[in-house]
Amino acid sequence: MKAVKYFYTLIMVLGVMNFSFAQNSSEEIPFDDLPPTPEFGKCFAKCKMPDRYEYVDKQELVKEASSKYEIIPAVYETRTERVLVKEASTRQIPVPAVYETVTEQVVVKEASTKVVEVPAVYRTASNREMVEAPRGEWVRKKKDQNCFSDNPEDCYILCWEEKPAVYRTVQKQVLVKAAETQTVDIPAEYKTITKRVLKTPATVRTEEIPAEYNTVTKRVLVTPAQKREVVIPAVYKTSKEKRLVSKGGYTEWTEILCAAKTTTAIVRDVQRALQGKGYNPGPVDGVMGVQTQAALRQYQKDKELPQGNLNLQTLQSLGVQG
């Protein structure tokens, strides 16, 4: 009986897994094929490898060498002289009076009291109910350090993960404190009466107006204009010819090390292994940086391994336990 019950349970779980897989893959994966193994803890990736080109430099004459004449303009100096336009004078400016405001408070409404109703207090009691059972499905991952391309769309990473059960909370209100009344004091109301009082009487002050001058300028020749020949060198431009070396495209589905398993210790082991095989991954710091990715990419190319990510075949070739 236990074997039969286990068999039916397995069929139900596989049914949920297949339904979730078909639903997600039809919307998110733009490929005709899918990863080979729907197994928990495994991740696969297709990485887009770019076309490889080389460039050849070529110089072309744009303009022959020539010469031209340019005029060096004459140099002048400016002499200035100040001329009195208007004599200094004075003027009378009235200074207005200054007032200040005096305030006084007057009672508008006497203090009083009023009765206020205090509403009842309730608390919310909740109960959790399962809405959806746990299931497994392919989950699309964003670009992580295992993918060497800067474009997140170049790598499609799928991991078979277990989705937890979904619960909902049913709530109800429970009375904590009944409604009651309270007496509230209402303070008195005041208004402020203001009036203006003369503080400083109006006066007159005298202001000095300075004299006004004009500046008269005249130009005097210092150096006459001259003519000289300027040699203009030939102009060249460097053009590059683009030549296709190899055609790019998406790789096959390759099993990679999942992001959760890519620890700093494993990255350090990869960096040490690359150093031991004559490649330069940069400092052994446990970070999948640009230099480490470049060394891995070159190692994969030299050993004819799957390229573009930290896959299990590369780890096995390096002797690193994933």
Flag whether pLDDT at 292 surpasses 90. yes
pLDDT at 50: 67
pLDDT at 3: 35
- Residue recorded with tokens 């109960």: 127
Mean pLDDT of the chain: 79
pLDDT at 18: 36
Compare 53 and 127 and report the one with higher pLDDT.
127
User: Do the strands 112-118 and 166-177 form a parallel or antiparallel pair, or are they unpaired?
Assistant: unpaired
Flag whether pLDDT at 298 surpasses 90. yes
**Count of C-beta atoms within a 10 Å radius of residue 72:** 11
Distance from C-alpha of 95 to C-alpha of 18, rounded to nearest angstrom? 93
pLDDT at 280: 96
Which tokens sit at 241? 């010819």
pLDDT at 186: 85
Q: Is 151 helix (H, G, I), strand (E, B) or coil?
A: coil
Q: Which helix (H) or strand (E) holds 265?
A: helix 264-276
**What average pLDDT does the segment 168-176 reach?**
81
pLDDT at 110: 84
pLDDT digits (tens, 9 = 90+) for 250-281: 777 877 888 788 899 999 999 999 999 999 99
Please give the single-letter amino acid code of residue 233.
P
pTM for this one? 0.40
Q: Which residues pair with 106 in a beta bridge?
A: 191
pLDDT at 268: 95
> What do you get for the CA distance between the two ends of the chain, in Å?
40
Q: Which of 49, 47, 43 is nearest to 141 (CA)?
A: 43
- The Cα-based distances of 274 to 92, 105, 271, 291, 301 in angstroms read 92, 88, 5, 11, 13
Q: Which of 302, 298, 248 is nearest to 148 (CA)?
A: 298
Q: Is 5 helix (H, G, I), strand (E, B) or coil?
A: helix
* DSSP result, 280-298: ---S-SS---HHHHHHHHH
Flag whether pLDDT at 297 surpasses 70. yes
pLDDT at 239: 82
Q: Please, are residues 101 and 194 in contact by the beta-carbon 8 Å criterion?
A: yes
Flag whether pLDDT at 24 surpasses 50. no
pLDDT digits (tens, 9 = 90+) for 94-153: 889 888 888 877 787 888 888 888 888 888 878 888 888 888 888 777 656 566 666 666
